[in-house]
Structure 1
Amino acid sequence: MFPQFNASYILAFQFSSWFPSFSSMSIRSTIIRPLDQSFKSYLESDGVFVPEGSEDAVAESTLSDEDESESSDKSEPEGQHFSFPELDAAIRDAIDKYQAVFPKLNFSSPKDAAWVLPMSSPLRCTSPADVYLLLKSSDFVTYDLNTGRFFEGCGTDDRPSYDLELVLRKWYPMDRSREVRCFVRNDILLGIAQRDMNFYDYMTDPGTQTKIKSAVCRLWEEKIRLNWTLTQPDYVFDLLLTRDLSRGHILDFNPYAPRTDPLLFSYEELHGLLIRATREPDGSTCTIDLPELRVVDSPMHPAAARSTPAHQHNMVPIEALSLSEGKSIIEFSEIWRDEVKRAMQDEDKDYAIHESSD
């Protein structure tokens, strides 16, 4: 079901490898590389905190001098100190250029940590501290820190040098309903899948689907296929289509490998399309209608049921996860109501004590 690949094939999909060839069709981006070992150590360190000097302004506080000193001593785990003034400056330069940025590493973006920044503008970074906070809070980006994981299947002797990079992309408020993932195997565009697993009524319209397929096929034939010079012709690419569904912007490339989510397809199904597209029983070429487009066609679609809210395990208080373990929804709701009531009573007591002391 998958092409034979080596480490060079995998590295072809890190951002700095493909972006120079497709920058005119993608979102404006700044690549900072290589990042030194101290930054990797920061990302791998325990706790969620930002390096010294990365915040653009010191927040006002009513703490006493003694409290402030004690608080600052605990801003980073004991025995650890991180400061990246040169990287801070490079991030600020990119923010000045783009107004706001969305960060990622070589392969992965911290989409699972969107909850740590205001939901009105998710993943929008306007300071180095925002960038660090997103990366430090993300489980996704840890993939880029472990070469054993992304070189899996390449053989232990096939591990070239690897430099960690920080990518800062111009932030836009994107309409996720217009994002699609496209699958290319043996230089054949096999399938197109809606990338966001929520139901959008307009996506079920046959005319809309025809527009999507036409736009993707045209962009692939005229722009991507002609400029694809990296290793072998097996890859997955993500697009953000324009509002009129006539054009698209390249968001990312991924290897045609198990690590890349096939979304509404399975790799078995994609392999079946490949076989039908390349040979018939008599050895002739088959002319089936490719690419096949798949969308979430109903609010009851299994993918839609699984997708709301995205990354929810990262977005709820840890106390809620602890209380809910092994409980039914009714039992949990009763326990959670009691906990909220108790917390409010404790808060009222604290307020009364504070008022009487004043």
Structure 2
Amino acid sequence: MPTARTRPPANRGSSAQARLLGLATFILSEPGPVSRRRIYEAFPDDYAGSPAAKEKKFSRDKRDLERLGFVLDREDVPAADDQVAYLIDARASALPPLELAPDEAAVVWTAGVSALRASDHPLRDELESALRKLLVGAKGLPPRAAATEELAAEGAPASGALLDKLVDAWERRRTVTLDYLRIATGEVVRRDVDVYGWGRRRGEWIFAGHCHLRDAERVFYLSRVCALKVDARRRDPYRVPAGFDVRRWTRQQIWDYDVHPPREAAVRFRGSLARVAGQLLPAARLSPDADGGRVARLEVRNLRGLVRQALAWGPEAELLEPAEGRAMAREMLATLAAALDGRAP
């Protein structure tokens, strides 16, 4: 991995660096190379003015991203208007060295060890590696941090073995039988599943395929699988549908869950959220409103999920439609207010 340049960008304050990190995150989140036009549309407040002004600022941002350690590659796209697009190679990029004060290192160490011992996260190996590096490079850690057995969890994580069995069954196109934990009721149910694909969603392993019980495509969390075995009753391999794309599931948001038929919804973003509306609701159709905000319109299959998320975004996000969703929001806020007052709603 190349060594990151340690000279920071020109000192324009922490907000400028936060903006650059936002730009890098946007480019990394896109499925392919991103054109300048797409970047300008995603950050209209940052790239305003004439074409020459936009190009000048973007050129400066590219230099600053490289100084932060990001490897920004160009790709020629002859058929596109810009004829050039950009992507960031996450594997080749490296941020500048992080210097932690002794008390900061102790906090990071304590939190990391706790997460490592209590979690079956798919990135636990990377976390353990990071903690061992912290052990070597940081000063002021408590004496017990020198005992690397702190990093060992009680019992090996089960997700690795389950994932290996899942992948093996997928490669051979063999149906698997799951003992699956249903979170809503706490009961363990048995499911026969033809696994079509797997991936990570928001840091957790998931897999999707045909559920024989529901006779439909469903998504499953690996962390909720209590037991998994190949179904010996079915000898013939199944077929993965030609149009299946696991990204439909790995990129699925809570408002995409199949709770009800598709419904139109609209969310208005103001202030700081207006500039990142396209990142908050990437599948939405965006339009400006009279007050300088942006309105996002999209189809949802779990209206309550969108309502919860809109409330979590805070006062700069407002659910406009449908009326039923606004009623849900009022109900949730009333319940919360009653809980804070210590009384029933």
Q: Same fold (TM over 0.5)?
A: no
The structure with higher relative contact order (CA 8 Å, sep 6+) is 1
Sort the TM-score into its range (normalised by shorter chain).
under 0.3
In the superposition, the TM-score normalised over structure 1's length comes to: 0.19
In the superposition, the TM-score normalised over structure 2's length comes to: 0.20
- Of Structure 1 and Structure 2, which has the larger fraction of its residues in strand? 2
